[in-house]
A and B are shown apart, each in its own frame.
Chain A
């Protein structure tokens, strides 16, 4: 769905759902995951339908992920950090 640019230095290692990825720094978690082909980020609170980042500016709260053990993090607002561990929130009602 989105194509990462060629020739960027991917200097940061993150783990998403137990798999590791090398990604470029100075970008948000949601962007990094989209660059790796992960569009679907979570299931919705009520019906459990799949959701993905929608606004990329902290408005919609559709990009919530568990980051380093903390649930409900707005992944479009948080920059990737070396060694970050990221999990999807797949259970219904898991959101704040």
Chain B
């Protein structure tokens, strides 16, 4: 909870100090003053002091008018004086009864990004302030860092802000700036929509929905959150898996190729991992065990044969020389063929990748087109109804180059593109596999070639040796085989370790998958629906009392998706349909609905901060009687946990009559900011 106990504005010129002080109480507070007297300034100063001005729009530097920034005068016809220094201070209180004073300078003082707080006696009573603390606002990190003001403010209010997904795929806390538009209705843009308007610069996905889920404390948000956490954990495991697998594959590539490790963890691998290393022997992939067995047998065989001297071995060597020469020619040719095969495969891989990319873009566009239908008639006839605005003929395929063709429906098109994406993904995966396989074969052949070349060299040298020297051929073959056996063994050891690690990852992954499956679907729970219907009832009752006329109050319902109001109407065929409210109700009924929505939310939302600020609710030349009904309704709420602050320029006696004795009416004649008596 957050209540404003006191607001203090100061604007200092060379000659005097201008200022205003407003004490606020729980319940209804009304600031009554004429037009352009500084009511909005006062209310915006609250937002400014809390560092939340970006919730009104990202471009606002200081959302305060020139009286707090540049020049000021006590009455309309007096001369202006230049503002040298100015600041705003508010005293806020939370549910635990803690009070702090918050100060932010505007002109001439400390950096505007600095927000200072004190504990201490109330602002009104003055006295020494204690426990000063400085916080940074606006800057990156102010919502997450320890000394960021938003972290502090959220804690003060008693909010634990949920993490929400952003458009760029990252996550952020649900920033206070996103929530405050549901507590503070600013005069210029605030009345344009029922919910919000929410700032877009935070780039939070589905921001209206996230804010409403948080304020109403819906289970669906928590379930989704848990699901996201699980998904994130799963993808972390996937990344670890890919890295570990990649590392093992790198080692494997020096010897042969790796089989049996899926590209992503599987439940089967978690239980019974099975991986094989294969090496190329005479054009065939054989299991490493087999190759090792053959190599060992050959070593034994060679070690048992007595070493001949060179002279005896020469005829055999010459024969062997011929064989090796042919081998080298064959291998070189094969390598060339493999190289061009790999090139081809890579080309296909690239083509598939490009196609996938453009399909994904296409999918996004079709999906956007589907979402755009929400805007309905606002899009115009051509886009909204597919009727030509001029000739009234059907234009559904008008942008297509071949006019005779009939275009798919959007939904059908989206699933068509999705299935294509799926297809191409599979294609790309197998292309990747083939490219890898090509390279593995290439490397194996290359090794063979090098071995043959070195054998050729040693044969030549051997033939030239003195005739009584022992033949080197056998010895060299033994050395080559030993080297291979060593490589194979060290790889097998690495594979055993990696296999254990991979199995552990797969086990964690399986467990997470299991939990994800067990998480209930993203639907509203019964509890959630009860909360939403209660809010809907409260809104319907209120708009009735406020003189809402565009629809029967019972025809205004809340979307179950993000709780925005919808109107139930009948379409041409007489079926009941839900329509967006913005285009269906009169401007003044939109205002009535906004009053009702925010008050009902204050009354019912469990995570509400207990504060609603309406800047000039008398918009759109609304009936005075409606406005008084609203003020009376606001005054009726006596709960100590709720505070409503309203500014109005309606005449004072009428306001007083509407709100009764108990509301706190603060009245100003002329400008709110006045020279203070020394």
The reply to whether chain A is a binding partner of chain B is: no
Binding site for A on B (CB under 8 A): none
Binding site for B on A (CB under 8 A): none
